[in-house]
């Protein structure tokens, strides 16, 4: 009887507990939702640089699970997503500097595929006056454009990463510098090309190795004008007009030297590439050791087109960066040698035989810059560089033509820039650079070699629309001076005035 009573008591207790749970559950469902405007009990941690912030709100369990969901495989990775330290004034030229002052790309922080791009269209006018009777003036109306679509996949495991990058380039029209595959104004219009194509492996903020086609770290910064692929960058040149004298070679306005014999992507052809080791010693100090090698069947120095050449070179660069102050220094050495042997006699009267080639082209230089960022008001910098090119012809130094002798020269460049924030969205910039070049060519009975100089200056005004579209007006002035070593030949100046408006969209 006692056992029966205990069993009945247990059943009653169990039913009471179950009833209480059901009642509490119903009350919980009927209870009003918590006021979403009330502050959370705990504020979330501040996201690290480069991380996407999670809104601080009293989210429900479902909302929290959505907020903690992994980011998508494909993600836009424009310059806005790059954290780093203070790169420069927002939207300014230092902030847009392509190598990010040597900092690693932020997409290394997770596995995925980054998608980014750059699109710009220029429209403008250029006029060049040449104050020699036999040299004609010129005026150009222009529209240029360039679009880059960039895909950057990455595999990340802890601090280790493997990364690749490919850039598809669409050209509306562009002015090319002499170290490009083709030189001149709009050599090819409406074409497709490729810029970057590389593979990178390394550890975050420690080191990485990059191999393929890419640009080196920038040393010499130009500011908001003299953009690459523009006529103002070429300056007050001759553009195909001959300045021959009876005894001298052609003269051309010297191109600014910015420690860029090896900085730009290899332009000699498809068989030439770069490799670079990046070392991040501290948070403030980093190094790039860039190497170049390969072969091709034409050159970028306008000497003897069609002759196969080998290329081998190195370019060390160092960046000391504390945000508001940046010091950059770099040097480079590159040697090009003929691929094919020649046939000739070792000594007069000896039989003809194969000989190793002696023709070569050596380029070397050094430069440095100081940059200051007083955010968010002003940024400015100073640059200086000196480079030289020495050519040895197939005869081993006989220099049978004046053009061959003029291929050896020394180029010096110095300049500066300043960008000022006028108000929200508005930036103004100015800059100037002076370049002089002394050739090895010297006419008979002359006491001086061929000498050319080039002053290039600009003023720019930029408005950033919706933090997406850059609208920039650039007004440029250049004056090139020509002093032939042939004394009867007159000296003269070219003067250039130009203006353009650029629309640029970054993605």
Dihedral over Cα of 156, 160, 162, 168: its sign:
positive
pTM to 2 decimals? 0.80
pLDDT category at 38 given cuts 50, 70, 90 is very low
Dist CA 495 CA 16 (whole Å): 100
Dist CA 366 CA 255 (whole Å): 16
Helix (H, G, I), strand (E, B) or coil at 86: coil
> Is the pLDDT higher at 112 or at 394?
112
Which of 228-232, 477-481, 487-491, 503-507 is the most confident on average?
Answer: 477-481
Dist CA 198 CA 211 (whole Å): 6
pLDDT score recorded for residue 269 = 66
The phi, psi pair for 12, rounded to 5°, reads -65, -45
What is the fold, at CATH topology level, of the domain defined by 74-506? Porin (2.40.160)
**Is-contact 115 154, C-beta < 8 A?**
no
pLDDT score recorded for residue 54 = 37
pLDDT category at 84 given cuts 50, 70, 90 is low
> Domain locations in the chain?
74-506
pLDDT score recorded for residue 507 = 86
Convert the pLDDT of each residue in 1-33 to its tens digit: 444 443 444 444 444 444 444 443 443 344 444
């Amino acid at each position: 009887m006692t056992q029966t009573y205990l069993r009945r008591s247990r059943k009653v207790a169990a039913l009471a507990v179950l009833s209480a749970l059901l009642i509490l559950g119903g009350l919980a469902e009927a209870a009003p939702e918590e006021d979403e405007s009330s502050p959370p009990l705990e504020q979330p941690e501040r996201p690290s640089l480069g991380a996407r912030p999670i809104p601080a709100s009293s989210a429900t369990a479902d909302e929290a699970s959505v907020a903690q969901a992994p980011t998508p495989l494909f993600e836009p990775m424009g310059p806005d997503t790059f954290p780093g330290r203070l790169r420069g004034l927002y939207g300014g030229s230092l902030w847009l500097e392509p190598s990010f002052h040597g900092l690693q790309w932020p997409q290394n922080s997770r596995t995925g595929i980054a998608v980014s791009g750059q699109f710009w269209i220029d429209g403008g006018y250029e006029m060049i006056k040449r104050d020699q009777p036999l040299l004609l003036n010129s005026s150009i109306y222009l529209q240029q454009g360039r679009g880059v679509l960039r895909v950057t996949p990455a595999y990340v495991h802890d601090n280790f990463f493997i990364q690749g990058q490919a850039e598809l380039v669409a050209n509306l029209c562009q002015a090319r510098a002499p170290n490009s595959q083709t030189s001149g104004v709009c050599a090819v219009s409406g074409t497709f090309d490729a810029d970057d194509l590389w593979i990178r492996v390394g550890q975050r903020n420690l080191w990485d190795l990059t191999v393929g086609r890419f640009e080196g770290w920038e040393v010499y910064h130009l500011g908001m004008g003299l953009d690459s692929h523009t006529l103002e960058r070429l300056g007050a040149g001759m553009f195909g007009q001959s300045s021959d004298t009876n005894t001298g070679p052609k003269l051309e306005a010297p191109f600014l030297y910015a420690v860029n014999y090896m900085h730009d992507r290899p332009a000699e052809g498809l068989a030439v590439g770069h490799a670079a080791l990046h070392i991040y010693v501290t948070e403030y100090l980093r190094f790039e050791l860039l190497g170049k090698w390969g072969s091709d069947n034409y050159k970028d120095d306008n000497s003897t087109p069609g002759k196969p050449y080998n290329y081998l070179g190195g370019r060390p660069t160092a960046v000391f960066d504390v945000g508001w102050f940046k010091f950059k220094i770099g040097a480079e050495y590159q040697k090009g040698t003929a691929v094919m042997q020649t046939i000739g006699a070792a000594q007069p009267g000896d039989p003809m035989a194969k000989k190793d080639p002696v023709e070569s082209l050596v380029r070397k230089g050094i430069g440095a810059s100081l940059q200051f960022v007083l955010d968010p008001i002003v940024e400015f910098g100073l640059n200086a560089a000196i480079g030289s090119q020495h050519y040895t012809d197939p005869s081993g130094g006989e220099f049978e033509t004046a053009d061959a002798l003029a291929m050896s020269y020394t180029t010096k460049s110095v300049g500066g820039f300043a960008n000022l924030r006028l108000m929200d969205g508005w930036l103004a910039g100015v800059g100037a650079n002076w370049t002089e070049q002394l050739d090895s060519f010297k006419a008979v009975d002359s006491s001086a070699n061929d000498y050319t100089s080039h002053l290039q200056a600009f003023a720019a005004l930029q408005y950033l629309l919706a933090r997406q579209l850059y609208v920039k007006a650039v007004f440029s002035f250049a004056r090139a001076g020509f002093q032939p070593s042939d004394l009867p030949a007159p000296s003269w100046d070219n003067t250039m005035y130009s203006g353009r408006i650029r629309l640029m969209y970054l993605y």
